[in-house]
Amino acid sequence: MKTKSVYKIIFVQLGEIYEVFAKQIYQSDMYGFIEVEEYIFNKDKQLVVDPTSEKLKNEFSKVERSYIPINSIIRIDEVNETGEAKIKENKGQVSPLPLNIQPFNKKD
């Protein structure tokens, strides 16, 4: 029996790099966005709590669905098991690419 897929989504948000895990990811009906549903957070009780992981849990705890702009996404991986959700400082030159999402009108 095939196990349910888990996705690791890495994207840029307000100058920081977010790494989250979710069970569902779709191309949105809203042009230029993907939909992310059913966020997964490590429920293990740890002695040392990562503050960025706690921040993500609080930020997404009541979120049913997120719409993330395609140009903010760095990478999406299908993984076998979840890891720790985290926020990384953008130390490099990672930034969203500009994306022209308006359809091209060709004048004849």
Strands 86-89 and 73-79: unpaired
Instruction: Report CA 46 to chain centroid distance, whole Å.
Output: 24
pLDDT at res. 63: 84
The pLDDT value given to residue 10: 92
At residue 102, the pLDDT reads 60
User: Which pLDDT score is estimated for 1?
Assistant: 47
* Mean pLDDT, contiguous 10-residue spans, the chain (108 residues): 80 87 91 90 64 78 88 90 81 61 61
6-89 fold: SH3 type barrels. (2.30.30)
What pTM value is reported for the model?
0.73
Res 68: pLDDT: 92
Query: CA–CA separation, 54 vs 19, rounded Å?
Result: 13
Spans of all domains in the chain:
6-89
Give the Cβ contact number of residue 106 at 10 Å. 5
Task: Give the pLDDT of residue 13.
Answer: 85
Residue 71 DSSP one-character state: G
